[in-house]
Structure 1
Amino acid sequence: MFLKNTSHQLLSICFLLISLSGFSQTITGTILDDKNAPIPFATIQIGEDYGVISNDEGNFNIRISGFKNTDSVYISCMGYEKIGLQVQEFESKEYVLNDFVNELSEVYVTDRKLGVDSILYYINKNASKNYKLDQTALKMFGRRTEYVDGKAADFEIEKSSNFKKKQLEAFNKDFDLLEQSLLNNESKQYTDMVSTLYIKDLKNAKLKIEKAVRLLDERNDQSLEKMADKGNDIVLKHLDTSKVYTVKSGWFTVSDSVSLNNRNDKVSDSINAVRFVREAAFNMVTEVNPITEEPELDFITDSRKYDYELKDFTFLDNEIVYVIGFKPRRGSANYVGTMYVSTQTFAVLRADYAFYPGREGEKLNLRLILGIKYIEKNKAGSVAYKKNSDGYYYPYYIKSEIDRYFYINRPIKFIENESRDKVAFNFKVEGTFKERTEILMLDVNNTTTADFNAVQEGKTLDYETIQQYDASIWKDYNVLEPLQEMKDFKVED
């Protein structure tokens, strides 16, 4: 892959400047269908291994430095006719893909007629030949968008044995501000990152981060960790930090001796811990890999749980593809969607899926006992696979969207150990964490155990925090073109 500008001799540079005036090193464009609607997930590829994918608005951005004018550029998407041109013809503009006129059903079926059960059989039979994950290094660009949709919040001191009226008013005023920040703040947070995930096997991985950038208004950070920090700050502001307290929540003693002077910064540290980022990236990669023990996309591997329908045939590039719809047959099945399967290798080339109506993911309901409830809802995603030079298919693009409903209703008491003075307040909050994560593979390489052992994974991650989107930050990389809402994001003074 070409990730840096290639050096040219002075004469060549002068020739290019003269003969290709206005020639840009970066192409920005939009992929549309013949009805002028944007086409997401279209592939824009130069050569064999270098390319990007269009976003939900059909927009893309790709660097072309290092390629010759006569190198080939291909724009393709499932169900559309492919466009081919040369780099010298490739320019920033709108590109229209025409619908693929499907005459394959009659022609292909008469040549090789397979039922959907047979196709599913060959998908799983060939899985170990088609997919590989161990001893690989995946260089990737990742983007996460997250925000909180607050539904209810109530933080209030119920009683105090040593607070005066004005102190209680000040305490509750700060809590009121925290409530409003949760309920009224619509600010989103964006995190972009280039990293390499080194995978030894299905259980061991290391992450080497090259660059990480956050776009957020830090005053409105609504992550659970930051909400906890803000609550801690209010407690520290109004309680006597020179004293030691026993902290109780509901029926349970949280601690018999808490010194407010010795703040625990583990929560803040966890936000920047590399291991949490690595676990998230590794989980996304493994859950879409059909050879893992319990893949999230069980509609590929466990045909007993789903009903399938062979809907059609289509083209992806020059390959004929089965179009198979699926929906739950059993209550343990979660997803409904469509997958696209190669007629040559029986590899799943793409899958689009979402929770079937009424289905939910992980959940924890201790509302009556502990005042806590958590449910995963509205999960949806897409994954596209591409064959690498080693003959195996790897996820080229992964998108996951999920809502995480949460409810916390906990009484908390601070009891000063010497005087036994008490401060009791109720903490109630309800809302939904909304999260969207995308991964674009920049490069895939085979590695060895020695390579894996040599990787030094850092412990903490230093983000570069910016207040307005700046495309030049990623000028040396091929990244996902941001949605318009991200381009428009700006932290106001």
Structure 2
Amino acid sequence: MTLSNTKIFPVLLFLMALPMTAQTISSKLVDPKTQKGIPYATIQYGEHKGVITNDEGRFSFSLDETTAPDSIYISSMGYSKKGFTLAQLQDSVVLLQPKAIELSGVYVFDKELSVDDIIEKMVERVPQNVNKAPVKQRFFLRQSEFVNIDKVDFGFEKSTIEELNKELMDSIALSIPRNGHHYTESLGDLYKNNGKYKLDIIKAADLYDKNQVSSFEELGERMQTIFTQNIKPDSYLKIKSGIFSQKVQVDSILSDMEKEQAKEAEELAQNLEKKKNSGLVDSQRSAFKELLNELYYNENSKLDLIEKNNRYRFTLAGYAEIEDAGVYVIDFEPKRSSAEFKGRLYINIEDFAIMRLDVQNTERLRNFRLLGITYREVLYKGTMRFAQLPNGKYDLRFMDFTFGRYFAVDRPLKVIEKNKHVKGRRKQNELSLNIDFRMSPTQKWELVVFDQTVVPEAQFTNFTEDKTARATYMPTYDPEFWQGHTIMEPNQAIREFTVEE
């Protein structure tokens, strides 16, 4: 998934034309007392332009020296906002002094409001404060997927097919990687309009182990060969798991396999380029839908803070500033057992818009267990930050979100081949297993919006996505890949990512 030639040549020409005018600023933001990096701080280098530090406090951005600002302003909740020159930031460690949240009002109010009054006004103003107009956002999105396989045991008990023996089942269990990592990074423009999304991908990278994918494909082909060589086409399979059983015709399975193979061959011949080039934009659009669906004001979000705020207890923790705007700092926690989240709100004192929201679940969001199958949603954690647009509305500026699950299967599985056309004993073959499988997948999204502009609806409607954009596969992280582009800096795990040979 690399860029098409139509994208590459203009970019190369631009970079070749301006080799001496662009500079990249790289640094690390550190707490002077703890000497630890300050995560997700805002680095402002233009009126509506900025970058966010990563979870280690690292940041970088690229500037055209002809329009370089005199000062770069750095701010983070709990620290004093401070201006720096470009020279002070280049290849250095930047210290930001801690600043406690004010516990008493420092702003002039027409009327002192209780915390319940503030929440009521915030909820009332959501329709007026949330931007619904078409907008174009320059973004960087990093998706990290981690899969930990805690246990794989097929519990082999019996097989009448020589190839489907305990050694094979054990080797399959051992071949499944216990830890998988997949990182996708993309830079581009996102066009949003009332829940609809269009993407213009400038550049993207894909970091994962291709060997794991190919090994699973080979395993599937091997299992299919064993199956077709040992099972009679006119047989049927009786599949039993616990108290349930299902009857499946083998000839229909084989027929479906043949049809599917023929279909795949035809599609491969006719639509190879289409299939090769259309994946990135579609997958990124799906990622945006999944992520942005969790914004606090969306009806389908798991976070029910707006719709069911009466389930939460709110406490005024103090006052602070975000981008020179005064904010109420309000903590929330479950008041009833049916509430599932805790966190902190930063609500604009003037218009009661949420400028920042930090949230984490206090209970499992889902806890399903039936007949040996377990599914849990165990982690829901993140932060959302919003910036005011020229139209007075607020839209997303940054989002860090982690979603963790747990899935397990602990139940018997028996596959019996029967054939009614065989004289005597109808049972031909049998495979008996007792499966014990446990996995913990975690997804993490980091989305930074560097610049955003309200656009006419016609611009959104007339924009056509370029689905030839592809991501560059990386078996080892390449620090030069994003040279000249402003992104969120990778953390240590990504910088050290490499596929073991």
TM over 0.5: yes
Distance of aligned partners of 1:255 and 1:152 in 2 relative to their CA distance in 1, 3 Å threshold = farther
Deviations 1:394-426, CA, capped at 9 Å, x for gaps: 111111112211113462637487777435253
Distance in 2 separating the partners of 1:160 and 1:428: 18
Matched, 1:233 2:226: no
Instruction: Within 5 Å, give how 1:147-166 maps onto structure 2.
Output: 147-155=146-154, 158-161=157-160, 163-164=161-162
2:415 to 413, 416, 428: 413
Instruction: Within 5 Å, give how 1:149-228 maps onto structure 2.
Output: 149-155=148-154, 158-161=157-160, 163-164=161-162, 167-169=163-165, 172-182=166-176, 185-202=178-195, 204-220=196-212
Q: Which moved more, 1:371-380 or 1:36-45?
A: 371-380
Distance in 1 separating the partners of 2:444 and 2:61: 22
1:338 deviates by 1.0
1:175 deviates by 2.9
Distance in 2 separating the partners of 1:86 and 1:446: 30
RMSD: 3.6
Instruction: Within 5 Å, give how 1:417-456 maps onto structure 2.
Output: 421-426=428-433, 427-456=435-464
Distance in 1 separating the partners of 2:157 and 2:14: 70
Q: Which residue of the partner structure matches residue 288 of structure 1?
A: 295
Distance in 2 separating the partners of 1:4 and 1:78: 37
Q: Which residue of the partner structure matches residue 378 of structure 1?
A: 379
Distance of aligned partners of 1:156 and 1:457 in 2 relative to their CA distance in 1, 3 Å threshold = farther
Distance in 1 separating the partners of 2:333 and 2:62: 40
Query: Does the 8 Å CA contact 1:144/1:192 hold for their aligned counterparts?
Result: yes
1:25 deviates by 1.3
Deviations 1:135-161, CA, capped at 9 Å, x for gaps: 333442211222222222123554444
User: Which 5+ residue runs of structure 1 have no aligned equivalent?
Assistant: 17-23
1:459 deviates by 7.4
SS of match in other structure, 2:78 = coil
1:301 deviates by 4.7
Instruction: Within 5 Å, give how 1:326-345 maps onto structure 2.
Output: 326-345=332-351
Query: Does the 8 Å CA contact 1:247/1:258 hold for their aligned counterparts?
Result: no
1:485 to 488, 493, 496: 493
Distance of aligned partners of 1:235 and 1:5 in 2 relative to their CA distance in 1, 3 Å threshold = closer
SS of match in other structure, 2:286 = helix
Q: Which residue of the partner structure matches residue 327 of structure 2?
A: 321
Distance in 2 separating the partners of 1:236 and 1:461: 34
User: Which 5+ residue runs of structure 2 have no aligned equivalent?
Assistant: 1-9, 268-274
Deviations 1:255-312, CA, capped at 9 Å, x for gaps: 651124545979xx8995754542331231132152x334433224532110000011
Q: Which moved more, 1:326-335 or 1:410-419?
A: 410-419
Distance of aligned partners of 1:247 and 1:74 in 2 relative to their CA distance in 1, 3 Å threshold = farther
Q: Which residue of the partner structure matches residue 39 of structure 2?
A: 40
Q: Which residue of the partner structure matches residue 270 of structure 2?
A: none
Q: Which residue of the partner structure matches residue 304 of structure 1?
A: 310
Matched, 1:59 2:58: yes
Query: Does the 8 Å CA contact 2:25/2:90 hold for their aligned counterparts?
Result: yes
1:327 deviates by 0.5
Distance in 1 separating the partners of 2:190 and 2:248: 38
Query: Does the 8 Å CA contact 2:280/2:471 hold for their aligned counterparts?
Result: no
Deviations 1:332-352, CA, capped at 9 Å, x for gaps: 321111111111221111111
Letter in 1 for 2:167: K
Deviations 1:338-369, CA, capped at 9 Å, x for gaps: 1111112211111111111xx1124543x31x
SS of match in other structure, 1:397 = strand
SS of match in other structure, 1:339 = strand
1:87 deviates by 3.5
Aligned pair count?
463
Letter in 2 for 1:454: N
Q: Which moved more, 1:275-284 or 1:410-419?
A: 410-419
Distance in 2 separating the partners of 1:467 and 1:229: 19
Distance of aligned partners of 1:459 and 1:324 in 2 relative to their CA distance in 1, 3 Å threshold = same
1:98 deviates by 1.0
Distance in 1 separating the partners of 2:491 and 2:128: 37
Deviations 1:5-47, CA, capped at 9 Å, x for gaps: 998999x988x8xxxxxxx711111111231222111011111
Distance in 2 separating the partners of 1:254 and 1:209: 45
Distance in 2 separating the partners of 1:470 and 1:13: 20
Q: Which residue of the partner structure matches residue 278 of structure 1?
A: 285
Letter in 1 for 2:365: G
Query: Does the 8 Å CA contact 1:352/1:382 hold for their aligned counterparts?
Result: yes
Query: Does the 8 Å CA contact 2:148/2:180 hold for their aligned counterparts?
Result: no
Distance in 2 separating the partners of 1:103 and 1:247: 70
SS of match in other structure, 1:45 = strand
Distance in 2 separating the partners of 1:376 and 1:433: 10
1:386 deviates by 1.3
Q: Which residue of the partner structure matches residue 271 of structure 2?
A: none
Q: Which residue of the partner structure matches residue 253 of structure 2?
A: 258
| Structure with higher RCO (Cα < 8 A, 6+ apart) | 2
Instruction: Tell me the TM-score normalized by structure 1.
Output: 0.82
Query: Does the 8 Å CA contact 1:157/1:423 hold for their aligned counterparts?
Result: no
1:92 deviates by 2.0
Distance of aligned partners of 1:415 and 1:135 in 2 relative to their CA distance in 1, 3 Å threshold = farther
Query: Does the 8 Å CA contact 2:23/2:484 hold for their aligned counterparts?
Result: no
Distance in 1 separating the partners of 2:317 and 2:69: 39
Query: Does the 8 Å CA contact 1:377/1:403 hold for their aligned counterparts?
Result: yes
Letter in 2 for 1:186: N
Instruction: Within 5 Å, give how 1:240-255 maps onto structure 2.
Output: 240=228, 244=233, 246=236, 248-250=238-240, 251-253=245-247
Instruction: Tell me the TM-score normalized by structure 2.
Output: 0.80
Query: Does the 8 Å CA contact 1:28/1:60 hold for their aligned counterparts?
Result: yes
Distance in 1 separating the partners of 2:61 and 2:477: 17
1:52 deviates by 1.0
SS of match in other structure, 2:179 = coil
Q: Which residue of the partner structure matches residue 393 of structure 1?
A: 394
1:51 deviates by 1.4
Q: Which residue of the partner structure matches residue 27 of structure 1?
A: 25
Letter in 1 for 2:473: T
Matched, 1:361 2:354: no
Distance of aligned partners of 1:275 and 1:106 in 2 relative to their CA distance in 1, 3 Å threshold = closer
SS of match in other structure, 1:304 = helix
Distance in 2 separating the partners of 1:7 and 1:234: 50
Identity %: 27
